Amino acid sequence: MNVLVAMSGGVDSSVAAALMIDAGHRVSGVTMKLWGGESDNGCCAVSDTDDARRVAHRLGIEHHVFNFGEEFDRHVVEPYVAAHQAGETPNPCVECNRHIKFDKLLRRARALGFDAVVTGHHVRRVRDPKGRWRLARAVDVAKDQSYVLNMLSPEDLDDVWFPIGEMTKDAVRALAAERGLVTAAKPDSQDVCFITRAAGREAFLSERIELHPGVVVDESGETVGSTDAIELVTIGQRRGLDLAGGEARRFVTEVNLAEGRVSVGAPERLMVEETLIGSITWAIDPAEIADVAVGVQVSAHGSADAAGLLVGADRVMVQWSERHRRVAIGQSVVIYVGDVVAGGGIAVRTVSRV
């Protein structure tokens, strides 16, 4: 088959390309040019494109560059800035996957006549009893990326392959070294690609929106600190507030942009019984899992916790089996049945029952 491998310049996508060649497919590589500004980390640096090109040359395959910069700005960068301006906590990697990698790239690949898009994500495709594709956790659970790919539909999975999902990270690196790929020992990307390590998030946002100072108050309303940029504060945050008085751990429990106030309190003040999510995408019809135990995950590197679901027309109330730490508005919330993704959405403000 004729496959297009999304090559980020990392070891995982490099090995994915090698495995496709070994399987006898006609393989081409592509690197997406997304962020046009300065980048010193993530998958948008010039060095990453160079590494992808060197791996493609080593493997003897064509390498292309697709410029999706305009779409990246519109669907990822601008919403990221707007979310901070509204006091929310965005997840730009999820939105990049939703709008760029598995929308724009997938549609471009289909139009060019490719049979499948291949990526180096640590996830698996599995068949359900009716033969439909489902997204499942990777064999290497510590590297699992199903959380950030929760938006993929069974129809998307018809045309997207994840060949390293059955491998451990150590096995991926060993195979890369065996094939002489320059990315074999390259560290994993960890940060938002358009935020440089040198300048940081505050500098990036201050060039695009006005940042406002705020006061930090405790549970009694007494001022215990301040922040230079309330737009950068998130629910559950502990560090970076320079709090005065007392040695007990205190966490951000509320961010009120309108009044310029951040509230902090003991960790138990963060515990809730329910979390409301909107912008739902279902991979499995919720009617099929109405009586099935589900797990719900609220961060990329977390684990799924037991919960029940109260499903509405366009929102879902997650009812935690045990009191759960509050989820910051704007974060992805992903529903699992075992290791399989059933659906996902975005944490929203609780204004009414679903």
Active site residues: 96, 193
Q: How far apart are CA 300 and CA 130, in angstroms?
A: 29
Decide if 3 contacts 159 (C-beta within 8 A).
no
Distance between CA atoms of residues 114 and 9, nearest Å: 21
Q: Taking a C-beta distance cutoff of 8 angstroms, is the pair 80, 90 a contact?
A: yes
- 187 Ramachandran zone, left/alpha/beta (phi>0; psi -120 to 50): beta
* Rounded distance between C-alpha atoms, residue 159 and residue 33, angstroms: 22
Q: For 97-244, where are the alpha helices, taking DSSP H only?
A: 105-111, 154-157, 169-178, 200-206
| Burial environment of residue 278 by CB neighbours within 10 A (0 to 12, 13 to 18, 19 or more) | middle
